[in-house]
Amino acid sequence: MSDRRSNRPRPTPNATALLDSLVPGDIVVPDAIISGRRATSCEAAPVIAATLRRRGHAIRGATVKVGRHPGGVPVVLRANRWTGWTGVAAAPGDQAALGVCDRMAIELARARRERLVCLAAPRSFCAGVERAIEVVERALERRGTPLYVRKQIVHNATVIADLEQLGAVFVDELDEVPDGATVVFSAHGVAPAVWSEAAARGLDVIDATCPLVAKVHAEARRFVRRGDTVVLIGHGGHEEVDGTLGEAPGEILLVENVAEVGTLDVPDPTRVSYLTQTTLAADETAEVVDALRQRFPALAGPPSDDICYASTNRQDALRGLARDVDLVLVVGSPNSSNSLRLVELAEAAGTPAHLIDDATDIELGWLADAGRVGLTAGASAPPHLVDGVVDALRGLGHVTVTEHRVATETIRFSLPKAVGKS
């Protein structure tokens, strides 16, 4: 990722705000500032504006001309020589709003500094997520709208919002889908009972289940057929776990941690096998497997690791840098299991870590003492959100970007026939 400024958006003159139109209570966070003939983007503006909105303030975004306007409105803060301009402004005489601006100026001064941003690699989309998103996009092109998707196609708020804009309709259960309509099953997989319900309703199903999740389902069926009690290591309530448990209700037992291993009651201790949710933390899962093996020495497992390559790669990449930075930011949504595991991994290394959907979730206070920031993203988070975080940090001081890469991912999954090549 380059530190060049040539790619920054150039504000257009017709976007210039007439700051003398401000009314008491208004606070302007400039998205760009015009000084003379030069227009400069304020890259930290999304962070500043979101911080103020979370505190209950009414915020306006605008392109602002530097200097005093007929209404006497000042730009309160100028950044240092590296960051160009950024600031906050309020109506003259509005002491309450100007006080907010002054306090924000202090916070910005504490957060502003030169930074090293170390990107973990791989990060962001994995092959299964890319496939699932493409399934929905192609289905919309070929089938039109409305196109129904059961559950979130992947666990990321930005992806869901983008697909909704294209016409996808996300539902929790099939009873929200009209008979005979087209429905996409999410990347997390579904239980056989869901397939049966869809068939009974005459629904046209397009299956976007990640092939690695489908592998776990196939292993569950195989272990159950041979008479094993199957122990699934995972997080209760997660859609992937619900789908796997549904392969053999009552015959697959869920454990979330080592403590729960001791509570298992199985009919034949010599006929026990285990599977795992694909998005778990490898270290913690290994501890649970060790506990299972101590209790059931004949324990059988899958022929290859169920934790997907993408989760493992992202964990390994972050593990390699977490102890060498002051702060870790993980781009991902709160319901993304693999993103949450990345936060936990960084915290286990003793480094403060935060999960953010995008740059607007950053709190300026996190950055006060953070000269070295580790940055990664869960497998369901779009890459451009990572770029947005780097840009926001660049608006608070000169940024040098490095990358810690542990693997290069070349895996691609073919699309289902329903949306594949014509």
| 3-class SS of residue 222 | helix
Average pLDDT in the chain: 88
Residues 86 and 28 in one domain: yes
Summarised one tens digit per residue, pLDDT across range 67-87 is 544 443 444 433 333 334 566
Residues 342 and 288 in one domain: no
| Residue 320 backbone phi and psi in degrees, to 5 | -70, -15
Q: How many residues does the chain have?
A: 422
Last residue of a domain, one of 232, 264, 295: 295
Q: Considering the domain boundaries, does residue 373 fall inside one?
A: yes
The two tokens of residue 337 are: 């299991």
Q: Considering the domain boundaries, does residue 418 fall inside one?
A: no
Question: What pLDDT, on the 0 to 100 scale, is given for residue 14?
Answer: 30
Residues 269 and 348 in one domain: no
Last residue of a domain, one of 295, 330, 346: 295
Question: Binding site annotation covers 278?
Answer: yes
pTM confidence score:
0.88
Distance of CA 422 to the CA centre of its chain: 32
CATH of the domain at 242: 3.40.1010.20
Residues 397 and 315 in one domain: yes
- How many whole angstroms separate alpha carbon 280 and alpha carbon 251? 22
Q: Which domain holds residue 120?
A: 116-124+310-405
User: Which residues have C-beta within 8 Å of that of residue 415, sequence separation ≥ 6?
Assistant: 131, 134, 135, 138, 421
Mean pLDDT is lowest, of 30-39, 64-73, 181-190, 310-319, for: 64-73
Q: What is the DSSP letter of 145?
A: S
Q: Which amino acid is at 405?
A: R
Q: How many domains does the chain have?
A: 4
Q: Considering the domain boundaries, does residue 33 fall inside one?
A: yes
Residues 82 and 150 in one domain: no
Task: Tell me the mean pLDDT in the region 184-195.
Answer: 97
Catalytic residues: 240
Question: What pLDDT, on the 0 to 100 scale, is given for residue 262?
Answer: 94
Summarised one tens digit per residue, pLDDT across range 191-240 is 999 999 999 999 999 999 999 999 999 999 999 999 999 999 999 999 99
Please work out, in degrees rounded to the nearest 5, the angle formed at the alpha carbon of residue 225 by the alpha carbons of 235 and 256.
15
Classify the phi-psi angles of 192: left when phi > 0, otherwise alpha if psi is within -120 to 50, otherwise beta.
alpha
Angle formed by the axes of helices 45-54 and 383-394, nearest 10°: 90
Question: Binding site annotation covers 42?
Answer: no
Number of Cβ atoms within 10 Å of the Cβ of 408 = 8
Summarised one tens digit per residue, pLDDT across range 7-65 is 333 333 333 343 455 667 778 888 877 766 777 788 899 999 999 999 998 888 877 76
Residues 400 and 319 in one domain: yes
Question: Binding site annotation covers 336?
Answer: yes
Among residues 98, 40, 48, which one has the least CA distance to residue 73?
98
Question: Binding site annotation covers 2?
Answer: no
Question: Binding site annotation covers 338?
Answer: yes
The two tokens of residue 397 are: 């001081």
Question: What pLDDT, on the 0 to 100 scale, is given for residue 60?
Answer: 81
- How many whole angstroms separate alpha carbon 358 and alpha carbon 360? 6
The answer to whether 331 and 357 have CB atoms below 8 angstroms apart is yes
